[in-house]
Amino acid sequence: MIRFAKATVLFTLLTVVMTWPQAARLTTDAWQHEDVFFNMWRLGWFAHALAKSPAHVLDGNIFYPESRTLTYSDAMVVESVVAAPLLWTGVPPVLVHNLMMLGGIVLSAVGIFMLATTLTGSQTAGITAGIVFAFVPYRFDHFMHLELQWTVWIPWAFWALHRTLETGSMRDAVLLGLFVTLQVMSSIYYGLFLIVLVSVCALFLLCGVRRGEMRSRLAGLTVAGGTAAVLIAPYAFPYMAARQSLGPRPEVQIVMFSARPSSYRAATDTNYLYGDRSARMGRPERRLFPGVLPLLLALVGLLLYAPTNQALMYLIGLVTAFEMSLGLKGYTFSFLYQHVPAFDGLRAPARLGILVVFFLAVLAAYGQAALERAVSRRTRPALIVLIPAVLLLEYWVAPLPLTAYPTAPPPLYQWLHTQPVGVVAEFPMPQDGSPGHEPRYEYMSTFHQMPLINGYSGYYPESYVGRLYRLRGMPDDAALQALVADGVRYVIVHRGLYRRGAAEEVYSALKRHSRFREVGRFDDGLGGADVFAAR
């Protein structure tokens, strides 16, 4: 526990430095991206539903009248459960979001530190693994994706895998199943990837088990798989039901978000050392450069460290994760896409890049441990300082582009919170294929929790797509009748979001309509909004 606590302090400080100035603006600012609104809506809705109606926690209030709308993307169960008490006690949602985001990075680094220290016997090697896993360009490419920072349980799953195959302990087997479950409930992408890679690595390690121990080890892995299956099933069933209506991801989309070999040479454009030269080789989701030093350390580890089955297992895991990240241009992911239903819902195989980094980080820890053994005691302190310093330099980025987010409801949503429950429609709605202002409307709904015809998520139901088509002519008669037919009770027109003159046209049409009455104009934080209610 002392080692864990010290590592937590160390990686908290490093995370503050490497993500600056996020720590200085925890209560107000976050990464400038619509997914930050989406993150805060998911956390806020989950906390609300958990307190009011836990049985309907997946029935998010967006895309009315659809149900199970939280399953249109990752529900982030673990993050939401951790965040709920904070939101219940009034902690500002932006602060909660940032704590969860940075906490995922810190805990991921601490987890791999504990794993690498156990495997190599060197705490400094564990620090090296933690730095690689926590601060590679992939982390900054996905700084707006809360669930993609939660790689927390991956190191612990492999720790439990080693323990299960070394001792045959049923306790360790149950822990393995539990850690896999927690990863699925933290990030479905990583959870599914982890199930495949743990299985591959377990099969390899089984080849080195003595014949007399084989039965107990197989029993342990069976218990681990059974534990994970039992715990994951209640969470999986709603997603399976949603998949029946939403269908698989189209192949063209998967190809777009699959890695290329060149992706592993691409850093983010904000990286000081490599950004200008390498960013053009990648695009969002395909910036997977792990750094030069980790590759060199991994090579040293494979050449100089005793070639144990465990070390070779991480090499096999790395190769498998790399091949899977190529998506439909590889073999493994293509097979899974065609034969395992859950995998045809994954849009971005390139996200396996963080698992490539995980395996590489452990191999780099082996390399540092080998170097520490090879050099003299007098040289060792310099080595221990130099390696982390070079790694941090490789991963150093420009100050993060942060922007302010509302931490309290504007008067419009304070008023709406006091009104009788009814379906809300907010305009303008998107018309050009972009999300428009839907993510902001969605986040603002956490302050009133009324059903909303608007929405933003990983999938869009057919009812929503059809509604956008029917409302494309707003404020013509067909669009207004569509609002009546959808049972809309409150229509909000955000004047500041319209081009000049367009808001007045919508306002006049609603004012003339027999089914709506004008309620008034409210401050929405965007230049004012007109509100109409159904008669």
Residue 281 pLDDT class (50, 70, 90 cuts): low
> When comparing pLDDT for 388 and 242, which is higher?
388
C-alpha pair distances (Å), 183 with each of 21, 177, 235, 366: 29, 10, 12, 25
Cα–Cα dist 377/374, whole Å: 9
Distances (CA, A) of 534 to 414, 481, 508: 19, 12, 15
CATH number of the domain bearing residue 511: 3.40.50
Q: Are residues 428 and 332 in the same domain?
A: no
Number of domains in the chain: 2
- Whether 325 and 469 map to the same domain: the answer is no
- Is the Cβ–Cβ distance between 503 and 427 less than 8 Å? no
Residue 306 has pLDDT above 70, yes or no: no
* Sign for the pseudo-dihedral over CA of 298, 302, 303, 308: positive
The yes-or-no verdict on residue 244 having pLDDT over 90 is no
How buried is residue 5: exposed, middle or buried, by Cβ count under 10 Å (0-12/13-18/19+)? exposed
Residue with tokens 């890695």: 259
| 80 DSSP assignment | H
Percent of the chain's residues with pLDDT above 70: 99
Residue 136 has pLDDT above 60, yes or no: yes
DSSP class of residue 271 equals B
Among the listed residues 200, 192, 127, 191, the one whose alpha carbon sits nearest the alpha carbon of residue 161: 200
Mean pLDDT is lowest, of 21-30, 197-206, 297-306, 412-421, for: 297-306
Q: What is the rounded CA–CA span in Å between residue 434 and residue 274?
A: 31
Q: Is the model's pLDDT at 2 over the cut of 90?
A: no
Judge whether residue 102 has pLDDT over 80: yes
Residue 336 and residue 460 in one domain: no
Q: Mark whether 164 and 112 lie in a shared domain.
A: yes
Note whether residue 58 is domain-resident.
no
Share of the chain above pLDDT 90, in %: 86
- Please tell me whether residues 524 and 480 are part of one structural domain: yes
- For residue 424, the model assigns a pLDDT of 98
pLDDT at 309: 86
- Examine the domain organization and report whether 381 and 416 are in the same domain: no
Identify the band that residue 278 occupies on the pLDDT scale cut at 50, 70 and 90. Answer: low
Same-domain status, 118 and 221: yes
Residues 334 and 210 in one domain: yes
Statement to judge: residues 441 and 477 lie in one domain: yes
Comparing 282 with 16, the larger pLDDT belongs to 16
Q: What is the pLDDT of residues 325-352, one digit of tens each?
A: 999 999 999 999 999 989 999 999 999 9
Contact present, 151 and 162 (Cβ < 8 Å): no
In a domain, 52, yes or no: no
- Give the domain range for residue 415: 411-534
Residue 211, pLDDT score: 85
395-408 average pLDDT score: 94
Provide the pLDDT confidence category of residue 535 given band limits of 50, 70 and 90.
confident
Regarding whether 129 and 100 lie in a shared domain, the answer is yes
Q: Within a 10 A sphere around the Cβ of 327, how many other Cβ atoms?
A: 24
Q: What is the pLDDT of residue 247?
A: 83
pLDDT the model gives residue 279: 56
Segment 487-523, tens digit of pLDDT? 999 999 999 999 988 999 999 999 999 999 999 999 9
At 26-62, the pLDDT tens digits run: 999 999 999 999 999 999 999 999 999 999 999 999 9
Same domain, 320 and 421: no
Return the SS3 of 488: strand
Helix axes 93-120, 353-374, angle to 10 degrees: 40
- The one-letter code for the residue type at 103 is G
Q: DSSP for 410-476?
A: -HHHHHHHTSPP-EEEEESPP-SSS-TTHHHHHHHGGGT---BS---SSS--HHHHHHHHHTTTTTS
The per-residue b/e assignment along 460-476, b for 16 or more CB within 10 angstroms, e otherwise, is: bbeebeebbeebeebbe
Q: What is the 3-class SS of 519-532, one letter each residue?
A: EEEECCCCCCEEEE
349 shares its domain with 433: no
Q: What is the pLDDT of residues 176-218, one digit of tens each?
A: 999 999 999 999 999 999 999 999 999 999 988 888 888 999 9
Distance between CA 216 and CA 104 in Å, rounded?
A: 35
Please provide the average confidence, as pLDDT, over all residues in the chain: 94
Instruction: Round to whole Å and give the CA distance between 73 and 326.
Output: 22
